[in-house]
Each structure stands twice: as C-alpha cells, then as structure tokens.
Amino acid sequence: MAKLVERFICPVCKRHSTNEPEALKCRNSHAVIKEVWAVSEQYKEPWKNKACNVAHYGEERALFEADLPDDIAKRKQKIAELIDTDPEKCRRLGYTQKS
Ligand SMILES: [Zn+2]
C-alpha cells in the first residue's frame, strides 16, 4: 500500500533528497552567477539607478544606455544629440532616430 513521504528538493537543480540538510547542502553547492552590469550614477540610492546587462547590450552600449533618461522624449533627444555629434558611435551602438 502506498504511503506518503517527504522529499526535500533543491530549489536550484530540483534534485530530490530524503532530508533537509542534504537539500540545503545541494542548494549551497551551486555556483553564484556573476554578471557585469552598467549602472548609472544618477541617484544616491543604488536601487533607483538604471542598470543594463553588458552581456545583453555589449559594454559600450550598456554604459550609454544606463545613462539614457527613462522619459521617452528626453531619451529621443539624447539619441538625436548622439546622431548629430558622433554618428559613427551611434551606428556602432545600433541607435537610430527611432531608438
Ligand atoms: Zn542542487
């Protein structure tokens, strides 16, 4: 006859264990994921600052993108300024008038 048993599952890899310490040990054995993000320095409070993942944008664009305002009109203005002042950088970063 079937019976109910507890399983302790690692939240990272989903491996089943029969006891909690084993599951905790498994959870803690997984490596931390390290990523590099470009973060604006606009605000004193770190969580308010815009952050862009370098793996997604590339380093140069992530740094530029992090400093772009969230306000759409101001953002378009900054990109228009880049198109005027440094069209080569603008092409390299992949920005257009519609970005
Ligand atoms: Zn695990």
pLDDT for 55-80, tens place per residue? 999 999 999 999 999 899 999 999 99
Question: 60 and 24 in one domain?
Answer: no
The reported pTM is 0.72
User: How far, in Å, from the CA of 52 to the mean position of ligand 1?
Assistant: 29
- What is the residue range of 41's domain? 37-93
- What's the CA dihedral at 49, 12, 32, 30 to 10 degrees? 170
Question: 45 and 84 in one domain?
Answer: yes
**Mind listing the pLDDT tens digit for each residue in 9-32?**
999 999 999 999 999 999 999 999
User: How far, in Å, from the CA of 12 to the mean position of ligand 1?
Assistant: 5
**Beta strand segments in the chain, E:** 8-9, 16-17, 37-39, 51-53
User: How far, in Å, from the CA of 13 to the mean position of ligand 1?
Assistant: 4
Question: 80 and 59 in one domain?
Answer: yes
Q: CA angle at residue 56 from 93 to 45, to 5 degrees?
A: 95
Question: 13 and 54 in one domain?
Answer: no
Question: 48 and 17 in one domain?
Answer: no
Tally the domains of the chain.
Answer: 2
Question: 85 and 65 in one domain?
Answer: yes
User: How far, in Å, from the CA of 78 to the mean position of ligand 1?
Assistant: 46
Question: 9 and 50 in one domain?
Answer: no
User: How far, in Å, from the CA of 35 to the mean position of ligand 1?
Assistant: 21
- pLDDT bracket for residue 45 (50, 70, 90): very high
CB 43 within 8 A of CB 34: no
Question: 10 and 43 in one domain?
Answer: no
Contacts of 86 by beta carbon, 8 Å cutoff, 6+ apart: none
User: How far, in Å, from the CA of 80 to the mean position of ligand 1?
Assistant: 48
Question: 1 and 48 in one domain?
Answer: no
Give the phi and the psi of residue 26 in degrees, each rounded to 5. -60, -50
Answer whether residue 89 is part of any domain.
yes
**Count of CB atoms situated within 10 Å of the CB of 31:** 6
